[in-house]
Amino acid sequence: MNTKTTLSTVPEAKDVRRIADIVTKAGGDTDKAIRLARTMAKAITSPDKAMRRSLAAREAGYQDIEDVFLVRFKELAGSVSKPENFKIRLSGVKFVKKEKFDAKPRVYFWDKSSGQTGIDMFLQRWTPRQVFTPVLEEVLNPIGFTNHVVTKPGTRLVKATWSQYAGCSCPCSPGFILDMRSYEYDLHVSYTVVRS
């Protein structure tokens, strides 16, 4: 019998408390925080709970703890785990003028793959930073920026930070926030998932 699990995208109060407990017990020691998070993650048997804890850690700004619970989610999710034989192929960039001049520009990624598979949703919603960071340079280089070391004359280094809430206060429009307020446009990047 096939069953479909609906995953929660909103951490519960208990998830927020559990992340706060880890941070308090770690006392500023990142390695200890990761060990505590791994111990907690091993006891979780629900992919939904693992994802909620990951999102709670993300909202609190603890990326290392977020990644621990994200790994546990992938272990438990099974049918929607990230395949090894895929790549992202960029198909276009649309430049949209920012609504507020002093706002930092955003880079959004939109899945244009034919059909909507569980893998596409997984890549888009649950492991976006890992999936899109490697292709960010393909977006930034043509407009004269880089997220890495500057190697070409005239290229400017820009800090790009992933945010699940780049577009609004809910996690429906994640993207990179670029630390360059003077740039006038948000970038909407179309892509397809290609099996290699």
**What's the pLDDT tens digit per position in 65-112?**
988 888 888 777 654 444 455 677 888 999 999 988 889 999 998 877
The pLDDT of residue 187: 94
In terms of Cα–Cα distance, which of 182, 109, 111, 101 is closest to 144? 182
Phi, psi of 142 (to 5 degrees): -65, -20
The pLDDT of residue 178: 92
Task: Check whether 7 has a pLDDT greater than 60.
Answer: no
User: Mean pLDDT score of the chain, rounded to an integer?
Assistant: 79
> How does pLDDT run across 172-194, given as a tens digit for each residue?
778 899 998 888 999 999 888 77
The pLDDT of residue 150: 57
Phi, psi of 114 (to 5 degrees): -70, 130
Q: Please state whether the predicted TM-score (pTM) of the whole model is above 0.85.
A: no
The pLDDT of residue 77: 66
Q: Is 47 helix (H, G, I), strand (E, B) or coil?
A: helix
Q: Range with the lowest mean pLDDT among 13-17, 114-118, 134-138?
A: 114-118
Residues 6+ apart with CB under 8 A from 148: 137, 157
Residue 126, number of CB atoms within 10 A of its CB: 22
Alpha-helix residue ranges (DSSP H) falling in 27-168: 30-42, 47-60, 63-77, 118-125, 128-140
The pLDDT of residue 180: 87
Confidence of residue 168 (pLDDT cuts 50, 70, 90): confident
Q: Is 52 helix (H, G, I), strand (E, B) or coil?
A: helix
The contacts found for 129-134 with CB under 8 angstroms, 24 or more apart, are 129/162, 131/82, 131/88, 132/88, 132/162, 132/176, 133/162, 134/88
The pLDDT of residue 191: 84
